[in-house]
Amino acid sequence: MTLRITPLSDALGSEVVGVDFSKPVSVSDFQRIRSELTDRLVLVVRDQNLTPAQLVATVQMFGEIMPQHLSEMLMPEHPDIAVLDSRNVQPGPDGRIMPVGSRAWHTDHTNHAMPPKFTVLYAVSLPQTGGDTSFANMQRAYARLTDNERKELVNLRTLNKIEDHSYVSDADRSRFGERQSHPLIRTHPDTGRKGIYLHPGKTESIEGMTPEDSRVFVDQLLDKTIVPEVIYRHHWLTGDLIIWDNRGVSHRAHADYDLSAGRVMHRVLVRGEVPF
Ligand SMILES: [Fe+2]
């Protein structure tokens, strides 16, 4: 099997074929995959057929696995894996039924002091149509700003909290509910590239602004910078394994499919560092 890596868009993302993560991967192949991830921020690894144990072992090649805060979604025999199943989505406080990750562009788990560096999603079952995931290169989004705009943003910090979604239990809320402050502009520790780092749903405020002003500010910033030139939209195939770098990427799920059809993803997180 020969490893082949091909860009998926100008903005970010590469497709990886010719690797089978259910078997040992050579050091040289893994080095190519790992450095591509640093450079392109999103990898789509095709044609995987992984048991939960093999998925966990695959993710461990990229770093230490981080516990997830949605306790009810964890696979009982493999609690490192969250099962995101569209059939189990409950209405939110506003009565809307929105699958996990479909409300807005975001980076994952900013209510943690050390949010995950990578998120891995493995496509187990997909709807006939719809259910894409879009990714935005937030380093390119940042680069679209003027020098003056960057100067205004560079010292701002976000105050993050866990959301009020029905799928967050009271126990998880008290365990992971402590507010966390993160830089709005984050420097990638491996490349030194700066990017916009935001989870709008978890941002209670920009420090020094009211929550209302913060919401307007965040919406305007994302509207201005997440433009088609920085986006890759992924249409899933069963067996796709995607790993993305939360330190430089925002993502959103498209809730444009029949939820009862059962879109099932297995999600694993890789522990990150304190953002700076
Ligand atoms: Fe997410």
Bridge partners, residue 194, by sequence: 187
Domains of the chain: 4-270 (3.60.130.10)
Q: In this structure, what are the phi and psi dihedrals at residue 200, rounded to the nearest 5 degrees?
A: -55, -40
Q: Cα 66–71–76 angle (5° rounding)?
A: 90
- Per-residue pLDDT at 148: 97
Taking the centre of ligand 1 as the mean of its atom positions, its distance from the CA of residue 250, in whole angstroms, is: 8
- Per-residue pLDDT at 166: 63
Taking the centre of ligand 1 as the mean of its atom positions, its distance from the CA of residue 69, in whole angstroms, is: 12
- Per-residue pLDDT at 122: 98
Q: Which residues surround ligand 1, an ion (CB under 5 A)?
A: 101, 108
Q: How far is CA 173 from the centre of its chain?
A: 20
> Which residues, given as ranges, of the chain have pLDDT below 50?
none
- Provide the whole-model pTM: 0.94
Taking the centre of ligand 1 as the mean of its atom positions, its distance from the CA of residue 196, in whole angstroms, is: 16
Q: What token pair was written down for 270? A: 């890789």
Taking the centre of ligand 1 as the mean of its atom positions, its distance from the CA of residue 2, in whole angstroms, is: 32
Taking the centre of ligand 1 as the mean of its atom positions, its distance from the CA of residue 121, in whole angstroms, is: 10
Taking the centre of ligand 1 as the mean of its atom positions, its distance from the CA of residue 56, in whole angstroms, is: 19
Taking the centre of ligand 1 as the mean of its atom positions, its distance from the CA of residue 217, in whole angstroms, is: 21
- Per-residue pLDDT at 163: 78
- Per-residue pLDDT at 39: 97
Taking the centre of ligand 1 as the mean of its atom positions, its distance from the CA of residue 106, in whole angstroms, is: 6
Collapsing DSSP to helix, strand or coil, 246 comes out as coil
Collapsing DSSP to helix, strand or coil, 72 comes out as helix
- Per-residue pLDDT at 62: 98
Taking the centre of ligand 1 as the mean of its atom positions, its distance from the CA of residue 195, in whole angstroms, is: 17
Which is it for the CA torsion 11, 17, 19, 21, positive or negative? Answer: positive
Q: How far is CA 186 from the centre of its chain?
A: 15
d(CA 242, CA 194): 23
Residue at 22: amino acid letter: S
- Per-residue pLDDT at 167: 66
Asked if 164 and 253 touch (Cβ cutoff 8 Å), the reply is: no
- Per-residue pLDDT at 237: 98
Taking the centre of ligand 1 as the mean of its atom positions, its distance from the CA of residue 115, in whole angstroms, is: 12
- Per-residue pLDDT at 9: 98
Taking the centre of ligand 1 as the mean of its atom positions, its distance from the CA of residue 246, in whole angstroms, is: 9
Taking the centre of ligand 1 as the mean of its atom positions, its distance from the CA of residue 1, in whole angstroms, is: 32
Asked if 264 and 155 touch (Cβ cutoff 8 Å), the reply is: no
Taking the centre of ligand 1 as the mean of its atom positions, its distance from the CA of residue 54, in whole angstroms, is: 22
Taking the centre of ligand 1 as the mean of its atom positions, its distance from the CA of residue 267, in whole angstroms, is: 10
Taking the centre of ligand 1 as the mean of its atom positions, its distance from the CA of residue 28, in whole angstroms, is: 30
